[in-house]
Structure 1
Amino acid sequence: MEFAFLAYPSCPELHVLSFLGVRLIYALIITGNILNVVAIHSDAHLYTPMYYFLGSLFGVEICYSAMVVPHILANTFQTQKTITLLGCITQMAFFIGLGSIDCFIFAAMAYGWYVAICHPLQYPLIMTLTLCVCLAMASVVIGFFPSLQLVAFIFSLPFCHAWGIEHFFCDVPPVMQLMCANSHTHEQSVGEAATLAIAVPFFLITTSYAFIVAAVFSIQSAVGHCWAFSTCFSHLIVVLLQYSCCAFMYLCPNLSYSAEQDQLLSLVYTLGTPLLNPLIYTLRNSEVKGPWGEC
């Protein structure tokens, strides 16, 4: 029993162009994230709570892209672009689980910015290594296990005889289109899981930034304003890009589903965000450039 992916271009020239483009982006994603993980772990000055979360984020991004992109590249020149039922279940479970972990790590980072800006004197006492490990483990548990339950629920539903997925990989919206019994109850179950993985961490992030903005405007120094905004601005850019795409796909009603929109948005958070994270967070940061500059 297999699923067939129907979103690949039919023109051979487009096959070559798409393969080379995706392969280049994937190589940059892997290289950038691995180099930054090595830089963080090789410099004792970077053993801080924020870089602990960054290292965790880069590791998740590597696994997140690896669950989808190599399979897309392998299927590009295949005549039958298929995946087995078990392979589809595994791919969706890890893809959604790692994506959910990503969202909660963003929330943990936002809390770290909040403590650093709103309570700078208590920062070393609050953001201890123990708390960082607990937040990272909580991100894994809260993000991964509900995703497993969602995938188990989806694949327990009856599917129609058509096994063609209008996508490049096994994602929730296109697979849900294959269900024979696509009722309001099923959509509600998917929406509840998406709310936990997307809306809850986004609410935590916006709450942290509300306190941060209030604290920044209470600072009299213009230098303090610039430092605070430059510290958080890069994080906010990635958060808005990630959450806007995910919210549009997973929190919108099923009636607004569009295969072309779904494919485009999924490429943004599958390739775009993992590519931007190393550039925005650390390659512009002199503290991370330091270890490589000495080589």
Structure 2
Amino acid sequence: MQPKNVRPQRENNLKIIETNFSIMIEFVLLGFSDIPQFHWFLFGVFLVIYIIILLGNGIMILITRVDSTLQNPMYFFLSNFSFLEICYVSVTLPRMLMDLWTQKGTISFFACATQIYFFLMLGATECFLLALMAYDRYVAICNPLHYPRVMNHKVCVQLVVASWISGLPVHIGQTCQIFSLPFCGSNKINHFFCDIPPLLKLACGDIFVNEMVVYILAVLFVTLPFMLILGSYSRIISTILKLPSNTGQTKAFSTCSSHLIVVVLFYGSATVNCLKPKSNQYGRTEKLLSLFYAVLTPMFNPMIYSLRNKDVREALRKVLHKFSAL
């Protein structure tokens, strides 16, 4: 005869299994939780950085719109790049400021998914825009006679629109794939914002497919544009070295130097996180690198272009003169 308590034990076992694989409704961003004594100091620093980013990139957009000498493809791409930087940093930095202010890092499941999607989409757009800016310099220096025809306004608009929308469906699919994973155990994300590597660390079961998708998309949206940039600049440098005068070489290098510095800053820090998606290797170094390319690089970009570009400096001087005369 079967004991009477068998059925209740089976029900308890089922309840335990259901509890272990419960639906995650919110996450906790650890951020700077290991240094709580510096929260207010960091809030002030990041608030100043955010204001600098908004003002710097906003001014770049303004002067490329109002100054007649900057109405060419190079500065058209630069104005779009500055607008992108404002959007890119606004995905993460306001949330970081709120977490530092409230000293709480809770973020809902939907908000985390939304943040990851826009972070991925805007990051891919930045890679494509940097490649477009390199291609623009390649055509201007290597094929100057064909430049007005190849880089006409219609083509520039089409290229920029393609850069913005190319990653939309892909990253929607990637975000849905990641957030369809079962999450169990801890809900603490060891990062300043929702990102793929630390989030995969919380997932249950096999994440091999997800990691392969990360690698493939990194090749398509990060490595491929970077290879196009390298190819463009290899041709540019080869052409510049063949110029007859040192003056011509200096002028050609000066038009490319700002873009090259921005590329080095962005890719130098982003490549580590994009091409190392294994969640068990995500640590403090990766967090700091992601903080650099997600926050600090957008702050440096307008400074780099304004300090190293004579046309931008002159346009900025004229705009400031007009405002001071009001």
Task: Please give the secondary structure, in 2, of the residue aligned with 1:121.
Answer: helix
Task: Please give the secondary structure, in 1, of the residue aligned with 2:28.
Answer: strand
**Does the 8 A contact of 2:61 with 2:79 survive in 1?**
yes
The question of 1:207 aligning with 2:256 is answered no
- Report the counterpart of residue 114 of structure 1 in structure 2: 138
- Report the counterpart of residue 262 of structure 1 in structure 2: 286
Between stretches 235-244 and 251-260, larger displacement belongs to: 251-260
The partner residue of 1:73 within 97, 100, 104 is 97
The question of 1:63 aligning with 2:105 is answered no
Task: Please give the secondary structure, in 2, of the residue aligned with 1:77.
Answer: helix
Between stretches 1-10 and 281-290, larger displacement belongs to: 281-290
* Ranges in structure 1 where 5+ consecutive residues have no aligned partner: none
Q: Which has the larger radius of gyration?
A: 2
The partner residue of 1:6 within 2, 7, 30 is 30
Is the alpha carbon distance of 1:182 and 1:114 closer, same or farther for their aligned partners in structure 2, counting shifts above 3 Å?
same
State the Cα deviation string for residues 44-88 of structure 1 (Å, max 9, x = none).
221110111001000010011111101100011324311101100
The question of 1:228 aligning with 2:275 is answered no
Task: Map 1:1-295; keep pairs closer than 5 Å.
Answer: 1-252=25-276, 254=278, 257-294=281-318, 295=322
Amino acid at match of 2:109: L
Task: Please give the secondary structure, in 1, of the residue aligned with 2:144.
Answer: coil
TM superposition shift of 1:287 = 2.1
**Does the 8 A contact of 1:114 with 1:211 survive in 2?**
yes
Q: CA RMSD in A?
A: 1.6
State the Cα deviation string for residues 199-224 of structure 1 (Å, max 9, x = none).
11101111111111111121121112
Between stretches 32-41 and 11-20, larger displacement belongs to: 11-20
Amino acid at match of 1:156: S
1-structure distance, mates of 2:246, 2:167: 39
Amino acid at match of 1:257: Q
Amino acid at match of 2:85: E
TM-score, scaled to structure 2: 0.86
2-structure distance, mates of 1:159, 1:9: 22
2-structure distance, mates of 1:108, 1:224: 23
User: What number of residue pairs does the alignment pair up?
Assistant: 295
TM-score, scaled to structure 1: 0.95
TM superposition shift of 1:181 = 2.1
Task: Please give the secondary structure, in 2, of the residue aligned with 1:199.
Answer: helix
Amino acid at match of 1:149: G
2-structure distance, mates of 1:179, 1:43: 51
Runs of 4+ in 1 over 4 A off after TM superposition: none
**Does the 8 A contact of 2:74 with 2:136 survive in 1?**
yes
